[in-house]
Structure 1
Amino acid sequence: MSAHPGQAPGDGGRTKTTFASLAAHKAAGEPIVMVTAYDYPSAQIADAAGVDMVLVGDSAAMTVLGYDSTIPVTVDEMLMLTAAVRRGLSTPLLVADLPFGSYETSDEQAVATAMRFVKEAGADAVKIERGGSSVDRARALVAAGIPVMGHVGLTPQTAATIGGYRSQGRTASDALAIRDSAAALQEAGCFAIVFEAIPTPATDAIMPHLEIPVIGIGAGPGTDGQVLVFHDLLGIYDGHAARFVKRYAELRAPMVEAVAAYAADVRERRYPEPRHEYGMPEDQVAHLTQLLSDY
C-alpha cells in the first residue's frame, strides 16, 4: 500500500510523501521531519509548515484528552482524532498510533484494529510499540497490506514495566536488546522505526545496522529524522516536558491572555463593538416595533 499518489491542490507545489520517498530521504542523508497532530487545525498547520510525516500519537491522551497517561485512550477516540487530522492534510504521510490494548492479544486483533484506522480514518500507516510479541503483530499487519512503523526504546504504553519514563539502552546489553528489537521489526517489514529516549552513543552504534528510516525523539542527532509533540514544540501543553523537548514558541501564555482579554471585554460590555454588529433597515425596525407592540 502506498500513500495517496499525486500532488494535492493548494500545497505550494509539494509532492506527497510516500514510503518510497522516505527511503530516498534516508539514502540521500536528508533528514525526515515528523510532528504530531490531533485535530483539523493542527493538521493544517503541520501541512502548511511542510513536514514530511504527521503522527496521531496516543500522546493525545494527555495533551488533548486530559488523561494522566497514554493507557486510557480508546480506539474510538483515536479514530476520531485521526479522521480529523486526515481532513487537514494534503502532502504529509499520516501515521496513527494503535492504542494500548488494541493489538497485543493476537494477530487477528491487531489486523482488525489497524484496518479500522486505514478504512475509517484514512491513515496511511499505523505505529505499534516494543519488540517481542509486537514483532509478530507487525509481521501480520504487513502481510495484511497495512504499513507499520515500529517504536523501541522508551515505550510509553509499557513505561511501568521498564522503570517509568526514563531513557532506555544505558548499558551495552540494554542497547544491544534495542538493536535486536529494531532489527526484528525491520525484518518483519516495518517501513520505519521510532527511537525514543535512547542515549546518543547507543543510537549511533545501532544506526549502521538498520536499513529503514529511524525517526528519533530524544535519541540524538544521528537518526534519519526527528519527531516532536505539537503541543510541546509550540509551548501549549503545561504538563511535564521531557529533556528532549525544544520549545520553538511559548503560545500558552498569549492564548490565556487573549481569552482573559475577551472575558474582560464581555464583562465590561466593550465587546461586541458596532463593527461586530449586523444592521437592519430602519423601516423594518419600525415595522418590527409595531408588530411587537401588538403582543
Structure 2
Amino acid sequence: MSATGQEKDLTPPEISARKGKAPLVCLTAYTTPIARLVDPHCDVVLVGDSVGMVLHGLPTTLGVTLDMMIMHGQAMRRGLERALMVVDMPFGSYEESPEQAFRNAARVMAETGCAAVKLEGGEVMAETIRFLTGRGVPVMAHVGLTPQAVNAFGGYRVQGRGRDAERIRRDALAVAEAGALAVVLEKVPETLARGITEEIAIPTIGIGASSACDGQILVVDDMLGLFGDFRPKFVKRYAELGQAAEAAIATYAREVKERRFPAAEHVFGEGPKTVNGEEAA
C-alpha cells in the first residue's frame, strides 16, 4: 500500500470524479527515478512534452517527437504504482485529423501503458477529443497558454486578459462538453481561472492560474530548483537542488585534483577476502 493508502492505479473516471473535492496533486516528470519519488504523493503524473526543453535542451517543445514521448513514457511507467499517468501528444501528431490523433494516441497508450493522453487546444480540438473519447482514449485537455502554439502567440504570454477572456472560456466549455476528463488552465488571469472552474463540470488543473482550480501542476525540475536561471512567476521553488548539485560536483572535482578521492575505503587490496566464493566488500 502506498503512503496515501491507495492500492491500485487511479483511473480517469476517478480523477474526473474529484471535481470540487480534494485538490488534485499533479507534476510533470520524465524518468523512472523521479516517477518513484512523485508516485506516493501525486494523483496525476504527466509525461510532458516539456521534456524537450528540460532534458534535451530544445528551445521550445516543437521539436519533440512521438518516439521521444514514448521513450519517456515507458521510463515513467516503470516507476509508477498508483498515480494516473498521462502522456502529452507532441506537436504535429494529432492536429491533422481525428483519425491521425487516434492512430498516434493508440500507439502511445499501447507502448507506454499510460491511461490517458493530453492534447493542446480548445474549440478547434473539440471534435478530435470527442472522436478519441468515443473510441476508448481518455483525454486531458489544455487551454490558455498552449506552448505548442508559442509562435502564434508571439511568446509565452498570459492569455485571456480583457476581451480575450471569452475565447479561453469558450475553449474550456468546448473541451468539457467534448468529453475531456480534465483540463489544464495555463497562464491565465486568476479571476478567469476561478470563473471557469466554477462553470465547467470537469476538474481544472492550474499552472499559473488560480488556487481555486481543482488541482495544480508544475514541472518537477522547476519546483525542485534544478535550473538556477529559470524563475517564472507561477513556479514556487520547494528546494534548490541545482545549487546543492553544483556544490557537490565542485567538491568532487576538488578532491580528485587533490588526490583525496578515491580514499582507502574506496579501493581494493591485492588479496580480497571471499564470502561464499564472492569478493567481500
Relative to the length of structure 2, the TM-score reads: 0.92
Conserved? CA contact 2:182–2:202, under 8 Å: yes
Query: Please, which of 179, 190, 209 is the counterpart of residue 200 of structure 1?
Result: 190
- The offset of 1:41, in angstroms, is 1.2
SS in 2 for 1:120: helix
Moved more, 261-270 or 116-125: 261-270
Equivalent residues in 2 for 1:82-97 (5 A)?
82-97=73-88
Query: Match for 2:30: what amino acid?
Result: Y
Query: Please, which of 232, 237, 245 is the counterpart of residue 255 of structure 1?
Result: 245
Conserved? CA contact 1:63–1:237, under 8 Å: no
- The offset of 1:206, in angstroms, is 2.0
Query: Please, which of 17, 22, 25 is the counterpart of residue 24 of structure 1?
Result: 17
Equivalent residues in 2 for 1:62-141 (5 A)?
62-141=53-132
Equivalent residues in 2 for 1:160-239 (5 A)?
160-171=151-162, 173-239=163-229
Find the counterpart in structure 1 of residue 278 from structure 2: none
Conserved? CA contact 2:11–2:115, under 8 Å: no
Query: Match for 1:198: what amino acid?
Result: V
Query: Match for 1:25: what amino acid?
Result: R
Q: Deviations over 1:218-267 (max 9, x none)?
A: 11111000000101100002443321010001110110111121122222
Aligned alpha-carbon RMSD (Å): 1.9
Find the counterpart in structure 2 of residue 37 from structure 1: 29
- The offset of 1:144, in angstroms, is 2.0
SS in 1 for 2:120: coil
Structure 1: runs of 5 or more not aligned: 1-8, 285-295
Q: Of the two, which has the highest radius of gyration? A: 1
Q: Deviations over 1:12-37 (max 9, x none)?
A: 6323322233233224x211100011
CA distance in structure 2 between the aligned counterparts of 1:12 and 1:43, rounded to whole angstroms:
16
CA distance in structure 2 between the aligned counterparts of 1:253 and 1:118, rounded to whole angstroms:
37
Query: Match for 1:99: what amino acid?
Result: P
SS in 2 for 1:33: strand
Show structure 1 runs of 4+ deviating over 4 A: 9-12
Query: Match for 1:53: what amino acid?
Result: V
CA distance in structure 2 between the aligned counterparts of 1:194 and 1:10, rounded to whole angstroms:
26
- The offset of 1:10, in angstroms, is 5.8
SS in 2 for 1:17: coil
Moved more, 152-161 or 127-136: 127-136
CA distance in structure 1 between the aligned counterparts of 2:29 and 2:240, rounded to whole angstroms:
17
Relative to the length of structure 1, the TM-score reads: 0.87
Find the counterpart in structure 2 of residue 52 from structure 1: 43
Residues 12 and 194 of structure 1: CA distance in aligned 2, closer, same or farther (over 3 Å): closer
CA distance in structure 1 between the aligned counterparts of 2:4 and 2:152, rounded to whole angstroms:
45
Q: Which one has more relative contact order, counting CA pairs under 8 Å at least 6 apart?
A: 2
SS in 2 for 1:94: strand
- The offset of 1:11, in angstroms, is 5.6
- The offset of 1:281, in angstroms, is 2.4
CA distance in structure 2 between the aligned counterparts of 1:32 and 1:271, rounded to whole angstroms:
46
1:14 aligns with 2:6: yes
- The offset of 1:115, in angstroms, is 1.1
Query: Match for 2:215: what amino acid?
Result: G
Residues 151 and 245 of structure 1: CA distance in aligned 2, closer, same or farther (over 3 Å): same
Q: Deviations over 1:165-223 (max 9, x none)?
A: 1111111x321211111111111110000000110111122222200111000111110
Moved more, 154-163 or 226-235: 154-163
Q: How many residues align?
A: 273
